[in-house]
Amino acid sequence: MTEPENQTPSPDTEGYFSEDVATFGDRVAAARRVAGLPQEALSQKLGIKLKTLRAWEDDMSEPRANKLQMLAGVLNVSIIWLLTGKGDGIRISNPDVMNLSPEQAEIVAEMQAVADEVQRLSERIGRLQQRLNSSYLS
């Protein structure tokens, strides 16, 4: 989805980038904007033509595996999130990027803290499940 460079995702469109609504191109565009990269800068970092990046963001094509891996790395999101919307997606380290009020920035920070805690607990549940499975088999 090609949009003006100065436009950033807003808190009211937060669900817009979830797996059940957003497309691959939507997620690429959102992550690029949150990273503060114009299309030209991202295309240069990836070593691709600007029209190629625009085609990705407009859902006209998708990158090959090697470029997908580079894209995820440059944008600091997981490959799985780019493809499906699940997993580690956009992390806003600077709430000013989204022109948030102090209250909204506090809410975003709290949401990120909760997301980190959920991730930690999910990993803990996985470890406990493995322990349970191994003790059951013994």
Contact present, 35 and 71 (Cβ < 8 Å): no
Tokens of 35: 């990273």
Q: Is the pTM of this model over 0.75?
A: no
56, 25 contact by CB (below 8 A): yes
CATH code for the domain in which residue 50 is found: 1.10.260.40
Summarised one tens digit per residue, pLDDT across range 10-34 is 433 444 455 556 889 988 988 888 8
Cα distance between residue 24 and residue 58, in whole Å: 9
Are residues 112 and 81 located together in one domain of the fold? no
Which residues span the domain enclosing 126?
101-138
Cα of 58 vs its chain's centroid, Å: 17
Residues in the chain: 138
28 and 66 together in one domain: yes
Q: Are both 127 and 66 inside the same structural domain?
A: no
pLDDT digits (tens, 9 = 90+) for 56-89: 999 999 999 999 999 999 988 888 888 888 876 7
Tell me how far CA of residue 14 lies from CA of 65, 107, 122, in angstroms.
Answer: 27, 13, 22
Is 66 in contact with 46 (CB distance < 8 Å)?
no
